[in-house]
């Protein structure tokens, strides 16, 4: 119990405040940790300690997890370049040179204002993200996890193979040991993939090619910082 309380105040509290931007949001968790320390110091009954731990866990899950993940991912794209991310490029080069080449070519193409269509670089970026997910989260490995098996047993999923979001979950849970960024990263993966697919599959019945190209380029430029942020998370070493 002393170790749990110590970890909260020495390792988690400060980065949580930095992420949330408001110390008041974790006041209840501070009080919970202090109460837990007090109980442990008095050699209190086990049921009292369990009750205190359950309260802290419930408060984190119900009151802190969502604002933490939203705040983290609202800032993550801002910390990533709108164009080529050198850290992502280097990490991709180590993982798969072909994926690295595809990423760098896509960024070059997005920056080319003379293109008539940007569906090519959008498709390339989509393939890069898909390649990373399949390389780091092979189908058999994802299907072997307990949470995936449980989703199949309960009938909550219908897809025959792991989804992009599930592969993201597998990678981040393995790397970050259940970090709070995982749930939001899953939704961001789906959002990026769906919007890239929208550019790739776009069909137009009216308007000029230049207008279409401008809209496509703008969409990919908006998505690129999100793609860079996701790839940074997926490709970082285990912690």
Give 71-122 pLDDT, tens digit per residue: 766 666 666 666 888 999 999 999 999 999 999 999 999 888 888 888 888 8
Query: Which residue from 192, 224, 209, 216 is spatially nearest to 77, judged by alpha carbons?
Result: 224
186 to 25, 54, 164, 167: CA distances (angstroms): 24, 26, 8, 8
DSSP 8-state code for residue 237: P
Q: What size, in residues, is the chain?
A: 239
Q: Measure the CA–CA gap between 25 and 111, rounded to whole angstroms.
A: 41
Residues of the chain with pLDDT under 70: 66, 69-70, 72-82, 156-157, 176-188, 190-196, 198-212, 238-239
Rounded CA separation 238/172 (Å): 9
Residue 207: per-residue pLDDT: 44
- In DSSP notation, 91-157 reads HHHHH-HHHHHHHHHHHHHHT-TT-S--HHHHHHHHHHHHHHHHHHS-HHHHHTSHHHHHHHHTT--
Among residues 124, 119, 120, the alpha carbon closest in space to that of 100 is found at 124
pLDDT at 138: 95
DSSP state of 161: S
Residue 217 CB burial class (10 angstroms; 0-12, 13-18, ≥19): buried
Cα-based distances in Å from 30 to 18, 35, 60, 172: 15, 9, 11, 27
Q: What is the DSSP letter of 180?
A: T
pLDDT for the residue 205: 44
Q: Domain spans of the chain? A: 2-67, 78-235
């Amino acid at each position: 119990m002393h170790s749990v309380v110590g970890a909260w105040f020495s390792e988690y509290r400060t980065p949580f405040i930095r992420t949330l931007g408001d110390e008041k949001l974790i006041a209840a968790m501070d009080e919970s940790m202090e109460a837990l320390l007090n109980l442990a110091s008095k050699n209190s009954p086990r049921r009292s300690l369990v009750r205190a731990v359950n309260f802290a866990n419930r408060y984190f899950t119900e009151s802190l997890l969502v604002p933490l993940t939203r705040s983290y991912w609202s800032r993550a794209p801002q910390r990533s370049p709108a164009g080529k991310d050198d850290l992502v490029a280097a990490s991709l080069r180590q993982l798969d040179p072909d994926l690295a080449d595809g990423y760098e070519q896509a960024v070059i193409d997005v920056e080319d204002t003379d293109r008539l269509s940007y569906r090519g670089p959008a498709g390339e970026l989509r393939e890069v993200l898909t390649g990373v997910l399949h390389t780091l989260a092979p189908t058999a490995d994802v299907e072997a996890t307990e949470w995936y098996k449980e989703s199949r047993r309960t009938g909550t999923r219908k897809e025959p193979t792991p989804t992009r979001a599930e592969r993201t979950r597998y990678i981040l849970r393995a790397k970050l040991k259940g970090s709070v960024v995982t749930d939001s990263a899953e939704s961001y993966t789906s959002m990026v993939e769906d919007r890239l697919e929208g550019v790739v599959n776009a069909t137009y019945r009216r308007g000029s090619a230049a207008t279409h190209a401008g809209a496509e380029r703008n969409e990919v430029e908006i998505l690129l910082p999100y793609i860079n942020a996701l790839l940074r998370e997926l490709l970082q070493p285990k912690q």
